[in-house]
Homo-oligomer: A and B are copies of this chain.
Amino acid sequence: MQATIAIKPAVAGTAPLPCKFEVSCAGCNFRELCIPADVCAEDLPQLEKVVFARRRVRRGEALFNAGDEFKAIYSVRSGFFKSSVTDGEGREQVTGFFMGGELLGMEGIGTGRYHGAATALEDSEVCVLPYALIEEMAREMPALQHQLHAILAREIVRDHGVMMLLGSMRAEERLATFLLNLSKRFTARGYSRSEFNLRMTREELGSYLGLKLETVSRLFSAFQKEGLIEVQQKFVRIRDIAGLERILREN
């Protein structure tokens, strides 16, 4: 269930993060989900010069915080992240969860500073994509340029989906939607479609879904009682995908 990708360790005594690793987009599991998608084979070596470093982030640590200077976009190499924004009154809203191949930090392009924060929910590793270099290379590689635009647009589409969820759905529809979405993303990465460990707490999930943690907990219990899922703390097994989909159908 864990992403166990063997990483060449950094040489002992090297500079602090970000450290330089041997990196190969060509051999990366997430190639077609990440920036290199659609970039043709002969351009790949050049792209790999851009993805010049990886960075480890331990569970609970921030990849970046709101207000930090924007220098890079990050691609999740392994592990799991949440992104969140905080308003003037200190309320935190979780805006998304990110797993292998998904990109974080694009929001900073406009202002030169990250707008929200990204936090590792388990020990993780990311590829560092320095924005200045990406931008420069995009001018010479139309496929990269287009892919970058597509990634930004995809994030907008994703956000609109969340707005639909928060604005139009009832609590149980929100959780069903979330479980189905998570299942799909795990499947796309070669994990089980029906069994996984949640990396976030009930509170973080509640924030994302616009619900209180108690409501999330109650919904999990209710879904279990109806035979839709099995839950035990962070572990979830989906027993009836069609049943979850039916929750969305019936209004």
Contacts and interface: CB of A to CB of B under 8 A. Distances in A.
Interface of A: 85, 87-89, 91-95, 106-111, 115-116, 135, 138-140, 142, 145-146, 148-157, 159-164, 166-168, 207-210, 248-249, 251
B163 A159 contact: yes
Contacts of A153: 106-111, 152
Contacts of A209: 167
A86 to B, nearest CB: 9
Nearest to A112: B150
A207 B163 CA distance: 10
A85, A109, A156, A167: most-surrounded residue (chain B CB, <10 A): A167
Query: So how many copies of this chain end up in the complex?
Result: 2
A147 B92 CA distance: 29
Given A93-B167, A159-B160, A151 B110 contact: yes
B135 A85 contact: no
Nearest to A89: B251
Contact of A110 (B89, B111, B150, B207): B150
B160 A85 contact: yes
A95 B138 contact: no
B110 A168 contact: no
A168 B109 contact: no
A153 to B, nearest CB: 4
A135, A160, A207, A210: most-surrounded residue (chain B CB, <10 A): A160
Contacts of A210: 166-168
A58 to B, nearest CB: 25
A168 B207 contact: yes
A130 to B, nearest CB: 14
Contacts of A110: 149-151, 153-154, 157
A5 B154 CA distance: 35
A-B pairs, 7 with minimum CB distance: A159-B159, A166-B166, A110-B150, A167-B210, A110-B153, A109-B153, A152-B152
